[in-house]
Amino acid sequence: MNIKDYTAIFKILSVITRLKITWILKKARKPLCVCEIMDILKEPHYNVSRHLKELKNVHLVEEKKEGKWVFYSLTKEKDPFIKALLKTIERIPKKFFTAEEENLKKRLSLRKDNKVVVGLKRRNKK
C-alpha cells in the first residue's frame, strides 16, 4: 500500500453509512447479503450497493456469490494498518450503533440453519 491507499480508506470511511456497514460486518462476524444490510440500515438497495462498491474498491470488503445471493464480508486483510483500523472501528461506543445492533440481531434471527431464506423484509404499508 502507498500513502494514497491510506488516504482513500479514510475518505471512504468518512461517510457515516460506509462506517456503519463496516461496523455491521465486523459485529456480524459472518458474511451478510445486500438485503440484510438494507434491512439493518433501513436504506434502499441502490444506496447500500453503492457504498459496498466503494468499500470493495479500497479492499475493505469482499463479495462472494452463493446461488442467487451475493454475500459481503470484511476482507481477510493481513496488513497491520487495516487490522488496527478495524479494531478501532469496533471500539467506537455502541451508543452510536444502537439501532443497527438491534436490527442486526433481528435480521440474523430470520436465517434458518445460518442460511438466508428471507430476502428484503417488506415494511407494512397502511
Domains of the chain: total = 1
CA dihedral 55, 51, 57, 107 (to 10 degrees): 50
CATH number where 73 lies: 1.10.10.10
The pLDDT tens digits of the residues spanning 46-94 come to: 999 999 999 999 999 999 998 888 999 999 878 899 999 999 999 999 9
Residue 51 lies in a domain: yes
Residue 80 lies in a domain: yes
Residue 124 lies in a domain: no
Boundaries of domain holding 42: 3-108
Q: What average pLDDT does the structure give for the chain?
A: 90
The pLDDT tens digits of the residues spanning 11-53 come to: 999 999 999 999 999 999 999 999 999 999 999 999 999 999 9
- Give the global pTM: 0.88
